[in-house]
Amino acid sequence: MGNRFICMTKKDSKEPGSRSKRMGRSQRKLLADEELLHRQALSMALHQHQLSQRFDGSMSRRIGSTSSRRRNLSDPFSNGKQVPDFLENIKVKKFVLLHGEGFGAWCWYKTIALLEEAGMLPTALDLTGSGISPTDPNGVTTLAEYSKPLIDYLEKLPEDEKVILVGHSTGGACISYALEHFPEKISKAIFICATMVSNGQRPFDVFAEELGSAERFLQESQFLVYGNGKDKPATAFMFEKQQIKALYFNQSPTKDVALAVVSMRPTPLGPIMEKLSLSLEKYGTGRRFYIQTLDDRALSSDIQEKLVRENPPEGVFKIKGSDHCPFFSKPQSLHKILLEIAQIP
């Protein structure tokens, strides 16, 4: 599918030493902006359960409600910069951001702010049973049900519009499902250390080398949730706090880890155990790109390399020093790659 290329991002510079005054001011402003983002997102997470009881809707509507306009100078996320001319030439500016297992729309807060500042139109969705979705994750049994917020979004999209889909981890399965059902509405599909499976594979199969076979996992894992009773099949899984920190956040800021620990929910088992049916005529015509995270303990770089080898995308990008959550650990590097992919003709 097209020419396969690889782009390697540079590590975010952290070395001490003298810098120019301009660089010093820039770094201080970046730190101040990030501190504000942290405080606002952490506050949102701490009130998440109360909001879920009062709010009639989904996180996607709350975030998407501001995503269609540029932020003004009084907005706390704005840095007052002009959008570079070359970004104005991007034809598809709508990004739909899909979280991975346990996460929700909240995890994209840095990416949303950066994309909006660049003049893009990001929307983050809560998949069914995730984020502040009112649905009990233990009752979500199919990939179609899990992906319903995305399918509803695509169905309502005007006929002449397309979007760039971005999926993290198991959110990649939802992207594949959407490519099979709505290929005409998806300009590009971006998999971030994600389950980019082949026809007939289950999303869980990607993690089999770390977690063992699906059968063994369902029999022996201590992280299973039995929503219908211990005498019934498991309905979801949820790692303990220490496992979450070790697997997902070995390079992420402590404040983002705190946000995640209070916000993550159990992941429905049914969707990740379902085999995908993907055709060459639909899924096969999609433009897929893969972003590898090279310091990832949840999905090793070797397994990610195997994924792109077995199901080659159009392009492969790599982020050095990123754990399984580059939207936390390397947000600027991730942002630059997203814009670079958006510009590809």
CB 265 within 8 A of CB 131: yes
Beta bridge partners of 291: 192, 317
Residue 169: closest CA among 127, 200, 229: 127
Catalytic site residues? 169, 296, 324
Residue 194: closest CA among 100, 295, 333: 100
Task: Please classify residue 269 by burial: count the beta carbons closer than 10 Å to its beta carbon, then call 0-12 exposed, 13-18 middle and 19+ buried.
Answer: buried
Q: Which helix (H) or strand (E) holds 309?
A: helix 301-310
| 3-state percent helix, strand, coil for the chain, nearest multiple of 5 | 45, 15, 40
- Per-residue burial over 301-327, b = 16 or more CB atoms within 10 Å of its CB, e = otherwise: eebbeebbeebebbbbbbbebbbbbbb
Tally the residues of the chain.
345
CB 88 within 8 A of CB 305: no
